[in-house]
């Protein structure tokens, strides 16, 4: 406080004068400025009383008593005004009832209030919030907050949980069937879904195979005839490009998928001859634009798959011109194709829609890809967590080799390190023969040094023959390893101090522009383990080195040495759901548990550590919390996620929230039993150092060989019965003794319809012949023919038949195969007795079977299909007429040499 000009005592803006006034608006925070609290005057008066007590001056005592009484009255009145606004509990505030509270306690509390007057509005808001909680029936939360039993930050999750539980209980009351949903039923439903989903994938494969077999050409004429002729030859085969020119359509139908390099496309596929529905370009970062454009020109759609953080196309043979005219032209034509390093960068520059494939499928331990993920991909990759945190046979490790043996300025080799690599290779062949191996070196010189070391040890031939799972051992420099992957990768740095102890920060191509891309490729080749052989450590590379590749190498060595990286710890984190109580129950049972096991967005809710193998998780616990509900589909959350984790060796236990809320004790008991069983079963598991987990990318092909799998790639010629069927004449039955001339038209209609139903499309004269023969007549005269025509027209008028020129068919019936007339009546073997629709069916079948054929070949094939050994003038003209009709209708395409079915 401070002394006023009039001598009165001031504390803040609150006056201590006797004649203070009450606040006109006691509910406002500003009213505190007008509270009269003369406790200083009261205290001073009391002091004077004590001082004068020795004098026992009655008048003075009366004066002091009067002042004291006045001050006490003013104090009580002001305190009452304050209490009307604040509504405190006196015992809570002062520790005493207000009448019994010592003045020193009251003075101290009031001073504290005045010093914190700026927090009054916050306190009022808090009081209102607590009142709202009480009105909502959350008195317990309000009381816990008021007493400090819970922190304010904890209130919202607690309220959310209570609201969710209240909604769940309300839903159970509204729909009692919810109470019947047991976790076992949900688990059974998920299990059934997984089985059905896998079956659906298998059925989809069979559907694709069936469609291929259905469309596969099996004819022997046209382009298929050329293919059969080439298959039968012993020598003098057509060159591939010539074969593609003459029989390309048939080859593409036989083999719809071509696996070719861009240069092979340009070399073997004639322009304009081939078109693909989809062209997929893999490793697009290594494809120059000029090589890719030829394949793109043959595509209706393209998918470009690549990683611009990996190696660009090699420019070893690329000539760079500095001609001034070319430079001027370059300035005039911005964004030329040759200005882009790869088709990937060109596609991105042209605004092609792009999507990042975030799931990392190769590495079975996060340490194998963690540095690349952090440095090159900004932590965007999703890395499935490994159940083994630390193991001698899994993850990234550094093997120190002796220093001072790098031949700088000479051979560029490090023979001692090469011998260490050869020694480790021999040990791998002995102890881990089921794991494939690859050796990657920073330079060609070091690659040759390792091969020489193996040759000296006499194990080079054994190493070259080593090929578990069909993956041969390789020894390559870093420029040649892109696209390769092995279970185990040895990396030989090679570079290091020379015999004089001199060390430079030059690491060959790694220290040049784009060196970080080379290192990214090199360090991400391993599935299970990566061993780095190096005579240097991260401390040998200056911190301020400029090339990005060299800086990344320093981080890589540091990570291999310490296991620490900026991407985060492989385990540990906040709880991602309301199941913190699960972790508490696990810890109470004596087991250790980690929350949010994993990095980069792919985490397991809880992981239980093995009691005697602290580097290994014995059980993963999945709850249907935020991670489960974030799945984009049932396939993601209920099948793919679990298959990926089980493929890495995880044993999983599912807890459903409804079961946990309904019967927590039972779920805890189930959980403890699952943990104990997992620990017991883990004692029988194979050594993780030598037994890799099952690949989560393993094939899901159905077991056994199907009939389709046992067939050869090209089926042999099929009989005509596969494309045509024998013509079957209809034999009508009528009552004997009846005269055709006496039968009315209404009785003849069923007979005519029966003939058409059996033989349609059928000529009018053939229908008349069947009716005439049924009545035992020997010749079809004009009277019978006219009468038959009237009968057919009458049936057509009533919708029983449809007409196409002189041919009759049943409505809505499509002819699937032409009929062979080889053994039919002579009248049926006439060209004009074959319906146009039947000609068209035969033409399309012949072209489809042979993919593409000349018009002459087509005529011969159609004639044979109808059972004719040669084509006469009438048949030739009839076939040609229908071919022209189909061309005009767009159902057949005609090139200079061939006819083929329309691509539509």
Picking from 392-406, 554-568, 848-862, which range would have the lowest pLDDT averaged per residue? 554-568
Where do we find the tokens 């000529």? 763
Cβ–Cβ < 8 Å for 276, 251:
no
Residues whose CB is less than 8 angstroms from the CB of residue 714 and which lie 6 or more positions away in sequence, other chains included: 227, 231, 254
Residues in a beta bridge with 751: none
Secondary structure class of 35 (helix, strand, coil): coil
Cβ–Cβ under 8 Å, residues 367 and 396: yes
Q: What is the C-alpha separation between 104 and 506, in angstroms, rounded?
A: 78
662-679 pLDDT, tens digit each:
788 888 999 999 999 998
- Compute φ and ψ for 725, nearest 5 degrees: -125, 155
- Predicted confidence (pLDDT) at residue 565 exceeds the cutoff of 80: no
| Crossing angle (nearest 10°) for helices 873-888 and 836-850 | 80
Whole-angstrom distance, CA of residue 843 vs CA of residue 855: 10
More confident residue, 835 or 25: 835
The answer to whether the beta carbons of residues 544 and 551 sit under 8 Å apart is no
How far are the Cα atoms of 205, 844, 851 from residue 254, in angstroms, in the given order? 18, 18, 9
Q: Are 343 and 290 in contact (CB under 8 A)?
A: no
pLDDT digits (tens, 9 = 90+) for 730-743: 988 887 777 887 78
Q: Strand pairing partners for 853?
A: 899
75-84, 94-103, 708-717: range with lowest mean pLDDT: 708-717
CA 127, 133, 137, 143 torsion: positive or negative?
negative
Least confident of 118-127, 255-264, 624-633, 854-863: 624-633
- Output the pLDDT for position 6: 43
pLDDT of 425 higher than 90: yes
pLDDT of residue 692: 52
Residue 712 has pLDDT above 50, yes or no: no
Please indicate whether residue 161 or residue 885 has the higher confidence score (pLDDT).
885
Cβ contact 646:654 at 8 Å? no
Token duo for residue 529 = 């383990």
* pLDDT in the model for residue 603: 82
Continuous segment of H or E residues that includes residue 646: helix 641-647
Eight-class DSSP state of 569: -
Residue 539 CB partners (closer than 8 Å, separation 6+): none
Instruction: Check whether 324 has a pLDDT greater than 50.
Output: no
Q: What is the mean pLDDT of residues 228-256?
A: 91
Q: How confident is the model at residue 268 (pLDDT cuts 50, 70, 90)?
A: very high
In the 8-state DSSP scheme, what is residue 720? G
Specify the pTM: 0.65
DSSP codes joined into one string, 333-349: STT-GGGSSSHHHHHHH
Q: Is the pLDDT at 83 greater than 60, yes or no?
A: yes
Please tell me the distance from the alpha carbon of residue 651 to that of residue 74, in angstroms, as a whole number. 76
CA distance 641 to 618: 18
Burial class (CB in 10 A: 0-12, 13-18, 19+), 325: exposed
Per-residue confidence band for 656, with pLDDT thresholds at 50, 70 and 90: confident
Mean pLDDT lowest for which of 39-53, 404-418, 543-557, 639-653?
A: 39-53
Taking only the tens place, the pLDDT of each residue in 678-688 is 988 877 655 55
Instruction: Look at residue 434 in the predicted model and tell me its pLDDT.
Output: 93
> Would you state the pLDDT for residue 19?
40
Return all residues near 481 (Cβ < 8 A) that are at least 6 apart: 438, 440, 474, 521, 522, 525
Where do runs of H (alpha helix) occur along 21-89? 39-52, 58-86
What is the rounded CA–CA span in Å between residue 862 and residue 719? 14
Cis bond upstream, residue 384 (ω within 30): no
Assigned token pair, 118: 């700026």
Residue 102, both tokens: 């010592």
Beta bridge partners of 531: 397, 490
Q: Which of 10-14, 182-186, 328-332, 718-722 has the highest mean pLDDT?
A: 182-186
Which phi-psi region, left, alpha or beta, contains residue 574 (left: φ > 0; alpha: ψ -120 to 50)? beta
The more confidently predicted of residues 86 and 199 is: 199
Residues with Cβ within 8 Å of 517's Cβ and at least 6 positions away in sequence, in order, are: 309, 310, 311, 312, 549
Least confident of 101-105, 223-227, 395-399, 464-468: 101-105
Q: Which residues contact 453 (CB under 8 A, 6 or more apart)?
A: 415, 418, 419, 421, 422
Residue 685 confidence (pLDDT): 59
Report the distance separating Cα 252 and Cα 271, nearest Å. 14
Query: Could you tell me what percent of the chain has a pLDDT over 70?
Result: 85
State the pLDDT at residue 572.
53
How far is residue 787's CA from residue 33's CA, in Å, rounded to a whole number?
A: 121
Give me the pLDDT at residue 715, please. 40
Question: In the structure encoding, which two tokens stand for residue 761, read together?
Answer: 């499309």
In this structure, the chain runs to a length of 904
Given pLDDT bands bounded at 50, 70 and 90, which one contains residue 437?
very high
Contact at 8 Å (CB) between 317 and 290?
no
- Residue pLDDT, tens place only, 21-71: 333 344 444 444 444 445 555 666 666 666 656 556 677 778 888 888 888
Give the separation between CA 821 and CA 725, rounded to whole angstroms.
Answer: 9
Which pLDDT tens digit goes with each residue over 455-496? 999 988 899 899 998 899 999 988 888 888 999 999 999 999
Q: Could you tell me the maximum CA-CA distance found in the chain, to the nearest angstrom?
A: 166
In this structure, the strands spanning 437-441 and 486-492 are parallel
Report residue 327 as tokens.
Answer: 């430079």
Beta carbons within 8 Å of 829's beta carbon, 6+ residues apart = 821, 867, 868
Report the b/e string of 195-226 with b at 16+ CB within 10 A.
eeeeeeeeeeeeeeeeeeeeebbbbbbbbbbb
Mean pLDDT of the chain: 81
How is residue 866 written in tokens?
């109808």
Tokens of 333: 């034509």
Q: 80-89, 114-123, 193-202, 894-903: which range is least confident on average?
A: 80-89
Quote the CA–CA distance of 469 and 516 in Å, as a whole number: 31
Quick one: tokens of 225? 């005839």
Cα–Cα distance, 490 to 396 (Å, whole number): 10
Structure tokens at 409: 């300025």
In eight-state DSSP terms, residue 636 is I
What is the C-alpha separation between 437 and 428, in angstroms, rounded?
A: 8
State the pairing for strand pair 299-304/276-281: parallel
337 or 241, greater pLDDT: 241
CA distances from 167 to 163, 173, 183, 423 (A): 6, 10, 19, 66
Residues 809 and 802 sit within 8 Å (Cβ to Cβ) = yes
HEC readout, 665-708: HHHHHHHHHHHHHHHHHHCCCCCCCCCCCCCCCCCCCCCCCCHH
pLDDT tens digit sequence for 739-764: 887 788 888 999 999 999 999 899 99
- Per cent of the chain over pLDDT 90 is 30
State residue 684's pLDDT score: 62
- Joined together, the tokens standing for residue 147 give 């007493």
Rounded to the nearest 10 degrees, how much is the dihedral formed by the CA atoms of 792, 794, 800, 806?
30
């Amino acid at each position: 406080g401070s002394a006023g000009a009039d001598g009165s005592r001031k504390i803040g803006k609150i006056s201590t004068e006797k004649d203070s006034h009450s606040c006109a608006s006691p509910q406002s925070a500003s009213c505190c400025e007008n509270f009269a609290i003369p406790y200083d005057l009261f205290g001073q008066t009391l002091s004077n009383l004590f001082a004068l007590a020795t004098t026992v001056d009655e008048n003075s005592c009366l004066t002091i008593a009067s002042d004291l009484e006045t001050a006490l009255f003013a104090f009580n009145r002001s305190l009452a005004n304050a209490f009307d606004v604040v509504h405190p509990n006196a015992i809570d505030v002062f520790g005493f009832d207000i009448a019994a509270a010592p003045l020193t306690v009251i003075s101290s509390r009031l001073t504290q209030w005045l010093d914190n007057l700026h927090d009054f509005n916050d306190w009022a808001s808090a009081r209102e919030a607590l009142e709202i909680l009480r009105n909502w029936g959350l008195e317990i939360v309000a009381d816990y907050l008021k007493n400090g039993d819970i922190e304010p930050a904890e209130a919202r999750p607690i309220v959310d949980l209570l609201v969710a539980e209240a909604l769940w209980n309300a839903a159970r009351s509204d729909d009692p069937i919810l109470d019947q949903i047991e976790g076992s039923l949900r688990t059974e439903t998920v299990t059934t879904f997984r089985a059905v989903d896998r079956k659906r994938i298998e059925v989809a494969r069979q559907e694709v195979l069936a469609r291929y077999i259905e469309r596969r050409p099996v004819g022997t004429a046209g382009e298929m005839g050329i293919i059969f002729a080439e298959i039968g030859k012993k020598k003098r085969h057509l060159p591939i490009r010539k074969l593609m020119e003459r029989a390309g359509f048939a080859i593409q139908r036989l083999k719809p998928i071509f696996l070719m390099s861009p240069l092979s496309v340009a070399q073997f596929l004639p322009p304009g001859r081939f078109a693909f529905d989809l062209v997929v370009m893999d490793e697009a970062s290594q494809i120059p634009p000029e090589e890719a454009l030829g394949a793109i020109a043959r595509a209706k759609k393209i998918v470009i798959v690549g990683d611009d953080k990996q190696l660009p196309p090699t420019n070893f043979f690329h000539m760079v011109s500095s001609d001034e005219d070319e430079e001027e032209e370059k300035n005039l034509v911005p964004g030329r194709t040759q200005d882009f390093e790869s088709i990937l960068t060109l596609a991105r520059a042209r605004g092609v829609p792009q999507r990042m494939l975030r799931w990392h499928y190769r590495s079975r331990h996060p340490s194998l890809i963690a540095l690349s993920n952090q440095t090159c991909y900004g932590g965007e990759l999703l890395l499935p967590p490994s159940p083994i945190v630390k193991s001698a046979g899994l993850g990234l490790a550094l093997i120190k080799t002796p220093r001072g043996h790098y031949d700088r300025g000479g051979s560029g080799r490090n023979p001692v390190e090469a011998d260490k690599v050869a020694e480790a290779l021999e040990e791998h062949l002995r102890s881990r023969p089921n794991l494939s191996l690859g050796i990657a070196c920073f330079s060609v010189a070091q690659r040759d040094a390792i091969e020489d070391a193996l040759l000296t040890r006499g194990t080079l031939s054994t190493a070259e023959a080593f090929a578990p799972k069909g993956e041969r051992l390789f020894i390559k420099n870093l420029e040649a390893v892109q696209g390769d992957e092995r279970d185990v990768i040895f990396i030989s740095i090679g570079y290091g101090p020379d015999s004089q102890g001199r060390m430079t920060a030059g690491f060959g191509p790694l220290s040049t522009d784009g060196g970080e891309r080379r290192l990214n490729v090199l360090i991400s080749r391993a599935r299970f383990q990566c061993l780095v052989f190096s005579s240097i450590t991260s401390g040998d590379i200056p911190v301020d080195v400029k090339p990005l590749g060299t800086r990344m190498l320093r981080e890589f060595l540091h990570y291999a040495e310490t296991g620490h990286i900026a991407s985060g710890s492989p385990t540990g984190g906040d709880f991602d759901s309301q199941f913190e109580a699960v972790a508490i129950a696990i810890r109470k049972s004596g087991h250790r548990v980690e929350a949010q096991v994993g990095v980069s967005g792919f985490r397991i809710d809880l992981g239980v550590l093995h009691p005697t193998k602290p580097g290994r998780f014995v059980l993963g616990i999945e709850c249907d919390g935020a991670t489960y509900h974030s799945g984009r589909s049932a396939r993601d959350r209920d099948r793919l996620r679990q298959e990926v984790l089980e493929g890495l060796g995880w044993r999983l236990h599912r807890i459903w929230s409804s079961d946990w809320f309904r019967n927590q004790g039972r779920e805890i008991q189930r959980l403890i039993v699952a943990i104990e069983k997992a620990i017991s079963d883990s004692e029988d598991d194979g050594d993780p150092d030598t037994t890799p987990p099952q690949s989560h990318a393993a094939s899901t092909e159905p077991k056994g060989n199907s009939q389709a799998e046992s067939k050869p790639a090209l089926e042999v010629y099929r009989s005509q019965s596969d494309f045509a069927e024998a013509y079957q004449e209809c034999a009508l039955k009528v009552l004997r003794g009846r005269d055709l001339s006496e039968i009315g038209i209404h009785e003849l209609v069923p007979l005519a319809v029966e003939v058409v139903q059996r033989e349609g499309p059928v000529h009018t004269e053939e229908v008349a012949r069947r009716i005439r023969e049924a009545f035992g007549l020997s010749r079809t005269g004009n009277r019978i023919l006219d009468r038959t025509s009237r009968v057919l027209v009458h049936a057509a008028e009533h919708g029983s038949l449809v007409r196409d020129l002189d041919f009759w068919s049943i409505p809505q019936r499509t002819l699937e195969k032409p009929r062979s007339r080889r053994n039919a009546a002579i009248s049926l073997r006439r060209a004009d007795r074959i319906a146009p629709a039947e000609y068209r069916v035969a033409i399309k079948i012949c072209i489809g079977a042979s993919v593409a054929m000349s018009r002459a070949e087509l005529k011969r094939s159609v004639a044979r299909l109808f059972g004719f050994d040669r084509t006469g003038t009438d048949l030739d003209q009839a076939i040609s007429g229908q071919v022209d009709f189909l061309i005009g209708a767009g159902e057949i395409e005609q090139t200079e040499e061939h006819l083929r079915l329309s691509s539509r």
